[in-house]
């Protein structure tokens, strides 16, 4: 087969080491010659953020973090950063926290150091997202790519097992969607396959030993790979669905991704044999659906959108908003009927196999 593709690799410094977040942050602030630092962390993560940033003397600590980054919340943080002459943003937390830092950077150009405490992966992408009037808008801009990511598995110990599972499966969705997203290429595929392997090893280890670092390190490594693949490949069918479910219906981000993933995989896999083979091999199975479902069973993964407040009565509206956003490059044709079937099955938690021969 002749190789013919274009791949973009994003420039970013990554520092990885359990128990080294404070040390790495202090060194990076010095390297970047930053004098006025704004630390962004939710109330839940504030104690962790205080501990990590104790060596750098921030001039502003910001804890108004809201899921899906409402534009009003973003504007308040932007105003605060401008009023305090901030020259470096430090985000400590999950995707919502990183997303808020990106919203500030998008408007101001202030660089970001991201310190994730989940497996969201937003820290490794140049993708931003904000919600306005129940609609989530996303975009790509180099200003929002953190200049440095500091990974410290010890910080994820604050994440309960159920949220670790949901967050890790969100990262898994980045991997799988990257294999058929609009800019999918062989490099993205290699990163995604290794990400699937790492996550499928790390997440069960977290389930078995929540206080152990080995599984959490493996999951963080997988989450990073998944995000790098996703940043290059772009958003596929899975992410278009989940962005609408989150932005329009305010469903929780990680749990929504974890729930929808097996349904999109079951729908697309028959039309994407090469991607399916890669996914299956990464799971160590013959069939990709079998591999994912086996992992989900071990983890006790989220199973139905109705468990998070989405109902069958909202499917019609969701279909109308999602359908125009499905990439033309999706391996299987998506129409109103098939998209309705995918969402209906995900809503009630039906066996994803019903979508294979749809």
Q: Where are the domains of the chain?
A: 13-156, 171-355
Q: Report the pLDDT value the prediction gives residue 2, as an integer from 0 to 100.
A: 76
pLDDT classification of 135: cutoffs 50, 70, 90 = confident
pLDDT classification of 123: cutoffs 50, 70, 90 = very high
Identify the burial level of 27 via C-beta atoms within 10 angstroms of its C-beta, where 0-12 means exposed, 13-18 middle and 19 or more buried.
middle
Q: Could you give the percent of the chain with pLDDT greater than 70?
A: 100
pLDDT classification of 77: cutoffs 50, 70, 90 = very high
Topology alike, domains 13-156 and 171-355 = no
| pLDDT over 60 (residue 219) | yes
Q: Report the pLDDT value the prediction gives residue 1, as an integer from 0 to 100.
A: 54
Q: Which of 1-15, 118-132, 144-158, 183-197 has the lowest mean pLDDT?
A: 1-15
| pLDDT over 80 (residue 260) | yes
> What is the distance between the alpha carbons of residues 247 and 137, in angstroms, rounded to a whole number?
8
Domain 171-355: give its CATH superfamily: Dehydroquinate synthase-like - alpha domain (1.20.1090.10)
pLDDT tens track for 31-43: 999 999 999 999 9
- The pair phi, psi for residue 115, each rounded to 5°, is -125, 95
How many other β-carbons are positioned within 10 Å of the β-carbon of residue 338?
Answer: 17
pLDDT tens track for 279-321: 999 999 999 999 999 999 999 999 999 999 999 999 999 999 9
Q: Report the pLDDT value the prediction gives residue 225, as an integer from 0 to 100.
A: 97
Q: Report the pLDDT value the prediction gives residue 202, as an integer from 0 to 100.
A: 98
pLDDT classification of 24: cutoffs 50, 70, 90 = very high
| pLDDT over 70 (residue 240) | yes
| pLDDT over 60 (residue 257) | yes
Q: Report the pLDDT value the prediction gives residue 275, as an integer from 0 to 100.
A: 97
Q: What is the mean pLDDT of residues 33-55?
A: 96
| pLDDT over 90 (residue 85) | yes
The enclosing H or E element of 194 equals helix 186-208
Q: What is the mean pLDDT of residues 163-185?
A: 96
Say which CATH architecture domain 13-156 belongs to. 3-Layer(aba) Sandwich (3.40)
Three-state SS at 158: helix
């Amino acid at each position: 087969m002749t190789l013919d593709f274009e791949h973009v690799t994003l420039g970013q410094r990554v520092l990885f080491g359990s128990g080294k977040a404070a040390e790495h942050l202090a060194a990076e602030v010095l390297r970047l010659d930053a004098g006025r630092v704004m630390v962004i962390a939710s109330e839940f993560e504030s104690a962790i953020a205080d501990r990590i940033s104790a060596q750098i003397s921030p001039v502003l600590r910001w804890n108004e973090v809201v899921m899906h980054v409402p534009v009003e919340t973003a504007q308040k943080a932007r105003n605060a950063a401008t009023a305090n002459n901030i020259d470096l943003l430090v985000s400590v937390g999950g995707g919502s926290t990183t997303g808020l830092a990106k919203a500030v950077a998008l408007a101001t150009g202030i660089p970001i150091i991201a310190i994730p405490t989940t497996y969201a992966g937003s820290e490794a992408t140049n993708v931003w997202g904000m919600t306005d009037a129940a609609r989530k808008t996303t975009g790509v801009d180099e200003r929002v790519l953190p200049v440095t990511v500091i990974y410290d598995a010890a910080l994820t110990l604050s994440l309960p097992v159920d949220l670790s599972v949901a967050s890790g499966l969100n990262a898994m969705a980045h991997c799988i969607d990257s294999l058929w997203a609009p800019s999918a290429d062989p490099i993205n595929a290699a990163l995604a396959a290794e990400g699937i392997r790492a996550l499928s090893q790390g997440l069960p280890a977290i389930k078995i030993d929540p206080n152990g670092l080995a599984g959490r390190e493996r999951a963080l490594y997988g989450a990073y790979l998944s995000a790098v693949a996703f940043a290059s490949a772009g958003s596929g069918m899975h992410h278009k669905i989940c962005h609408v479910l989150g932005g329009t219906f305010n469903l929780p981000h990680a749990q929504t991704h974890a729930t929808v993933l097996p349904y999109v995989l079951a729908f697309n896999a028959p039309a994407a044999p090469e991607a399916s083979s890669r996914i299956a091999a990464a799971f160590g199975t013959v069939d990709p659906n079998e591999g994912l479902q086996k992992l989900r069973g071990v983890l006790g993964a989220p199973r139905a959108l109705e468990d998070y407040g989405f109902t069958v009565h909202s499917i019609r509206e969701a279909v109308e908003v999602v359908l125009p956003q499905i990439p033309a490059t999706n391996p299987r044709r998506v129409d109103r009927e098939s998209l309705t079937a995918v969402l209906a099955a995900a809503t009630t938690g039906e066996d994803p196999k019903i979508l294979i021969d749809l």
